[in-house]
Amino acid sequence: MEGFSKMPRVRSKLCKDIENFHKKFKLGYAGGPRRLSLEVIRARYRHQFEELEELSQAIHKGDMIGTLDALVDTVYIALGTAYLMGLDFDKAWTRVHKANMKKIRCATKRSPIDIVKPIGWKAPKLDDLCKIK
């Protein structure tokens, strides 16, 4: 399909679904990583915030169906933004998850069941996934 570059071959079902959605609506992936125009990123922010507002309203109403729908839509928009930016979300997820699994649970001022970075914790390396070509 014209205007579409190939995403990495090994991808999660979620990322494949996002690619299919964007192809259906001719929202081309221009290869990546890349920065989005200010106009596009503002539209993505607005849409993301709308979904977060819907999530908040659904939770406050005790609406489980609305809550689940808003959670899925929030992730859908975030993954779509990563797709449009040409970012390898699956690789980033794996690295961030690995780093997060090294955190520890402990009580803090913020919460009695907080998850925190222990001494010596290292942030995941993502720079190679963000280099604009």
Q: For residue range 35-60, what is the model confidence (pLDDT) as tens digits?
A: 999 999 999 999 999 999 999 999 99
The confidence score (pLDDT) of residue 1 equals 43
Residue 7 pLDDT more than 90? no
Question: Where are the chain's structural domains?
Answer: 13-129
Query: Which superfamily is assigned to 13-129 in CATH?
Result: putative ntp pyrophosphohydrolase like domain (1.10.3420.10)
Q: For residue range 61-116, what is the model confidence (pLDDT) as tens digits?
A: 999 999 999 999 999 999 999 999 999 999 999 999 999 999 999 988 988 889 99
Q: Which whole-number Å values give the CA distances from 53 to 59, 61, 71, 90, in the listed order?
A: 10, 12, 11, 27
The confidence score (pLDDT) of residue 6 equals 58
Pairing type for strands 104-106 and 114-116 reads antiparallel
The confidence score (pLDDT) of residue 31 equals 80
The confidence score (pLDDT) of residue 8 equals 56
DSSP 62: T
Q: How many CB atoms lie within 10 A of CB 104?
A: 11
The confidence score (pLDDT) of residue 22 equals 94
* Range in 6-10, 25-29, 47-51 with the lowest mean pLDDT: 6-10
More confident site: 29 or 95: 95
| pTM of the predicted model as reported, rounded to 2 decimal places | 0.85
